[in-house]
Amino acid sequence: MIFKAGSNCPSSVPPVYLNGAPLKRVHKFKYLGHVLTDDLIDDSDIERERRALSVRANMIARRFASCSNNVKVTLFRAFCTSFYTCSLWVKYTQKAYNALRVQYNDAFRALLRLPRFCSASGMFAEARVDCFYATMRKRAWSAACRVRTSGSALLAVVADRLDSPFVRHWLSLHAPVSQNWAK
């Protein structure tokens, strides 16, 4: 994979060989479950997560349809709020992000058999479950704290660069608490 720098990408790339065999050039690749693209836009990975959320939520709704709402809420928290690698998303379209948010809201509605157009904030507040935005803020803040306190010299470089895309994104999600970052 050859990563683009903005709109700059070499027009001609010589073949790369490994043990005499040419390597195929790809524009998208899944690495450790995270979808990487040559333009470094996270829409493909957000779509992967949206589809995975849909599968998990539908499975819970079918298998546990006769359970109490407390059981369903516990299952939702366990299986539908852990967005793998979401803390790495820094460059994405609002359309992709909103599609995931809508899927999250719809999954909760379907699980609790709520009307299609009921208030999302109301249903989450009543069930005492984090809304999509709260879930994403918690995931991003948790990752930022782990990077910040890591003993890794490489991660320290990322954490100490306030102009890093990751740090800027994490801080934008946590503006009120961003003063603690420098401490």
SS (H, E, C) the chain: CCCCECCECCCCCCCCEECCEECCCCCEEEECCEEEECCCCCHHHHHHHHHHHHHHHHHHHHHCCCCCHHHHHHHHHHHHCCCCCHHHCCCCCHHHHHHHHHHHHHHHHHHHCCCCCCCHHHHHHHHCCCCHHHHHHHHHHHHHHHHHHCCCHHHHHHHHCCCCHHHHHHHHHCHHHHHHHHC
Q: Say how far residue 107 (Cα) sits from the centre of its chain.
A: 16
The count of structural domains within the chain is: 2
Same domain assignment for residues 33 and 45 = no
The structure's pTM equals 0.81
**What integer pLDDT is reported at residue 141 of this predicted model?**
80
Same domain assignment for residues 28 and 50 = no
Tell whether the model's pLDDT for residue 103 goes beyond 90. yes
Same domain assignment for residues 71 and 81 = yes
Q: Are 57 and 110 contacting, i.e. CB atoms less than 8 angstroms apart?
A: yes
Same domain assignment for residues 118 and 32 = no
Same domain assignment for residues 35 and 45 = no
**CA 156/CA 148 separation, integer angstroms:** 7
Which range among 36-45, 68-77, 89-98, 174-183 shows the weakest confidence by mean pLDDT? 174-183
**What integer pLDDT is reported at residue 171 of this predicted model?**
67
- Residues 114-127, mean pLDDT to the nearest whole number: 91
Same domain assignment for residues 23 and 87 = no
Q: What angle do CA 34, 10, 25 make, to 5 degrees?
A: 45
Same domain assignment for residues 104 and 21 = no
Same domain assignment for residues 96 and 123 = yes
User: Token pair for residue 164?
Assistant: 């890093």
Same domain assignment for residues 32 and 81 = no
* Coil/strand/helix, residue 107: helix
Same domain assignment for residues 151 and 82 = yes
Tell whether the model's pLDDT for residue 180 goes beyond 50. no
As a whole number, the mean pLDDT across the chain is 86
Q: Which domain holds residue 13?
A: 1-40
**What integer pLDDT is reported at residue 65 of this predicted model?**
93
Q: For a pLDDT cut of 90, what percent of the chain falls above it?
A: 52
Of 105 and 4, more confident: 105
- Residues 133-160, mean pLDDT to the nearest whole number: 82
Same domain assignment for residues 99 and 13 = no
Q: What is the pLDDT of residues 16-57, one digit of tens each?
A: 999 999 999 898 999 999 999 988 899 999 999 999 999 999
- Residues 68-79, mean pLDDT to the nearest whole number: 95
| Residue 19 half-sphere exposure toward CB, CA atoms < 13 A | 0
Same domain assignment for residues 32 and 45 = no
**What integer pLDDT is reported at residue 113 of this predicted model?**
93
